[in-house]
Chain A
Amino acid sequence: MKHTVLPGFRLTMGFTLFYLCLIVLLPLLTLPARSATMTWEAFWQTITDPRVVASYRLSIGASLAAASINAVFGLIVAWVLVRYTFPGRRIVDSLVDLPFALPTAVAGITLTAIYAPNGWMGRLLEPYGLKVAFTRLGITIALVFIGLPFVVRTLQPVIEDLDPEVEEAATSLGATRLGVLTRIIVPYLFPAWLTGFALSFARAVGEYGSVVFISGNMPMQTEIAPLLIITKLEQYDYPGATAIALVMLLLSFTLLLAINLLQGWTTRRLMN
């Protein structure tokens, strides 16, 4: 540690570590500790149970679909908010954070009301044979809602940082607007775009509140992994719940690591 005139390192660091261990690390460590008491066979049997595998597949598949939708529309929204002016832009900009601020249970029952067969959107879609509520499509829509701000908010500062002089230079050298877009803008935005996608995906995989109402919760069909954990807990099947949760926790940590690497990449890109 370098010498500094500022005081309080021991005190603040001590409290930070103590609080972190007490609130986060100690509780989280009970999960692997608890599953260590299971035999490997029992653990494997739990996580390869067809119902469990189906829930993982659904959670990951729907989250990938939702993150992809957010990647496409989030890019458009971020671009429009930074580059174009139109009436109400600032209000729209503030509204993008709504999914962070609105409790997930409220989002869940509201989306269900909108997409139920007698809801505003459900009524419009039903004649086309499109059922949303209580299907996988409904789950995806709920996940799009809660992941929406991530892509927009990671891209916005990067688009703002995009130096117009680079575009000017390319244009004056004869590049078309499309050429500038594909050769300069897209490669420049790519790391941040991928980060936004990963954040949106990571959030969606663990999501519970906004999904349970719209999903219908049919085992093998529309049962997400977090819901299966709750079901096992309610049946006092703690080992079963622990095993499913541990797999999800490993997935989350892998994603967190990937996101950190991606953010490092984005920062290095911006520095150069």
Chain B
Amino acid sequence: MAGYVHASTGQRGRRSGRLTEPLIVRVLLIAIALGFLFLFLVLPLATVFTEAFASGTAAYLDAIREPDALAALRLTLLAAAIAVPANLVFGVCAGWAIARFQFRGKQLLTTLIDLPFAVSPVISGMVFVLLFGRQGVLGPWVADHDIKIVFAVPGIVLATIFVSFPFVAREIIPVMEAAGSQEEEAARVLGAGGLQTFFRVTLPNIKWGLLYGVILCNARAMGEFGAVSVVSGKIRGVTNTLPLHVEILYNEYAFQAAFAVSSLLAFLAIVTLIVKTVVERRMGAAVEAVPEAAAAPQLS
């Protein structure tokens, strides 16, 4: 659902005393905001790392070097390596079709693209069990052809693609709409081919939005728990992703190991936040650098 919310790029002006709250109110509000964020964001993040190292660095390294943990890491990377490019290609296609052409049902299509955000992760995983499981609609067909999808790697990949489906499209569509199509039309009129127009004109314009979508998509793909948990069957070393491995360790009361593996995912989250912040600044700078292009009215 993160895609509902977009980067904010605004300027903040100084204002005179009468236009703001009294100093005491300001200090109080800042204290409440920071206290709330400390309790709900900083404390959990700090806890992951303190618990991970609670039994020392050696125990930490043992936990993340253990074969099952490494197998889980490999599967998480594999699932993301399939889901992110697939959703990237889809996002670019959807962006081109929706932001560059007028057609009926456009609003419906964008709403349908958002569907995976609205569905509970548990239901996202469950539909693949209903589709490909032993009692599923396509279950007999899948069994006849000796393909294993549910409780196997393909099911995990499918569930990962489903939950991270809208992120790239969601970010690209508004960026492409804001950039407008004049530059591409000019390129076409001057004789550029379709692909040439896309790679030389469109891509440079949307690259930051694209990167932003890919980062969010990747974070969700690597971190998904509910959907993957339903389709995985949780076979250690075979169908366990990192988040599922965390759950197994935790339920076996191996708390320190669970937090050690969690710290890898928390580290991924921090990297995601840093890259996201940098990209947001770049997007903000890009908008400010070409205000005319961004503000120009559409020809159509």
Chain A residues at the B interface, C-beta cutoff of 8 Å: 1-2, 4-9, 11-13, 15-16, 19-20, 23-28, 30-31, 33-34, 73, 76-77, 79-86, 90, 92, 94-107, 109-111, 113-114, 120-121, 144-145, 148-150, 153-154, 156-157, 160-161, 164, 167-168, 171, 177, 199, 202-203, 205-209, 213, 226-227, 229-230, 233, 236, 238, 241-242, 245, 248-249, 252-253, 255-256, 259-260
Cross-chain contact of B94 among A12, A95, A120, A255 (Cβ < 8 A):
A12
A215 to chain B, nearest CB (A): 14
Set of chain A residues within 8 Å of B131, measured between Cβ atoms: 26-27, 30
Q: Does B171 make an interface contact (CB < 8 A)?
A: no
A24-B162, A208-B122, A245-B123 known; A233-B230 Cβ under 8 A: yes
Give CA–CA (A209, B112) in the complex, Å.
24
Given contacts A23-B161, A208-B226, 9 further A-B contacts (CB under 8 A): A31-B123, A80-B29, A83-B20, A95-B42, A98-B45, A101-B276, A106-B262, A114-B47, A121-B39
In this complex, what residue of A is CB-closest to B188?
A5
Chain B residues at the A interface, C-beta cutoff of 8 Å: 1-2, 4-6, 8, 10-13, 15, 18-22, 26, 29-30, 32-34, 36-37, 39-45, 47-48, 51, 89-90, 93-94, 96-98, 100-103, 109, 111-116, 118-123, 126-131, 133, 135-137, 158, 161-162, 165, 181, 184-185, 188-189, 194, 197-198, 216, 219, 222-226, 229-230, 242-244, 246-247, 250, 255, 258-259, 262, 265-266, 268-270, 272-274, 276-277, 300
Which of B1, B39, B123 has the most CB atoms of chain A within a 10 A radius of its CB?
A: B123
Set of chain B residues within 8 Å of A241, measured between Cβ atoms: 126
- The 8 A-B pairs of least Cβ separation, nearest first, read A206-B120, A103-B223, A160-B10, A153-B5, A209-B225, A208-B226, A101-B269, A226-B122
A140 to chain B, nearest CB (A): 12
Set of chain B residues within 8 Å of A207, measured between Cβ atoms: 120-121, 226
Set of chain B residues within 8 Å of A111, measured between Cβ atoms: 44
In this complex, what residue of B is CB-closest to A9?
B101
Contact assessment for B130 and A242 in the assembled complex, using a CB-CB cutoff below 8 Å: yes
Give CA–CA (A206, B277) in the complex, Å.
28
A15-B93, A30-B127, A97-B276 known; A24-B112 Cβ under 8 A: yes
Cross-chain contact of A73 among B36, B226, B273 (Cβ < 8 A):
B36
Contact assessment for A252 and B120 in the assembled complex, using a CB-CB cutoff below 8 Å: yes
DSSP majority for the B interface? Answer: helix
A30-B130, A171-B18 known; A20-B273 Cβ under 8 A: no
A80-B30, A101-B219, A226-B226 known; A106-B48 Cβ under 8 A: yes
B21 to chain A, nearest CB (A): 6
Complex A-B: 12 CB contacts under 8 Å:
A7-B194, A28-B115, A83-B20, A84-B30, A97-B273, A103-B243, A104-B226, A105-B223, A107-B44, A114-B47, A120-B47, A153-B8
